[in-house]
Amino acid sequence: MGEIQTIPAVRPLAGLLAVQADLLPQARALLEATFGPAECVSQAIPFRHTSYYTAEMGPDLIRQFLVFTKLRAPEELADWKLKCNTYERQLGLNAEGGRKVNIDPGFLAPGKLVLASTKDHEHRIYLQKGVYAEVTLRVRQRRFQAWDWTYPDYREAIPFFDEAYQAYRQYLAGPSG
The torsion region of residue 36 among left (phi > 0), alpha (psi -120 to 50) and beta comes to left
Determine what percent of the chain is predicted with pLDDT higher than 70. Answer: 99
For residue 7, pLDDT beyond 60: yes
pTM of the shown model: 0.94
Quick: pLDDT tens for 21-32. Answer: 999 999 999 999
- In whole angstroms, give the CA distance from residue 174 to residue 155: 29
Residue 160's alpha-carbon distances to 5, 42, 64, 82, 140, in angstroms, are 30, 7, 11, 26, 16
Quick: pLDDT tens for 123-177. Answer: 999 999 999 999 999 999 999 999 999 999 999 999 999 999 999 999 888 775 5
Which stretches does DSSP call E strand in 48-122?
61-68, 101-109, 112-117
Q: CATH number of the domain at 11-170, please?
A: 3.30.70
Whether the Cβ atoms of residue 10 and residue 73 lie closer than 8 Å to each other: yes
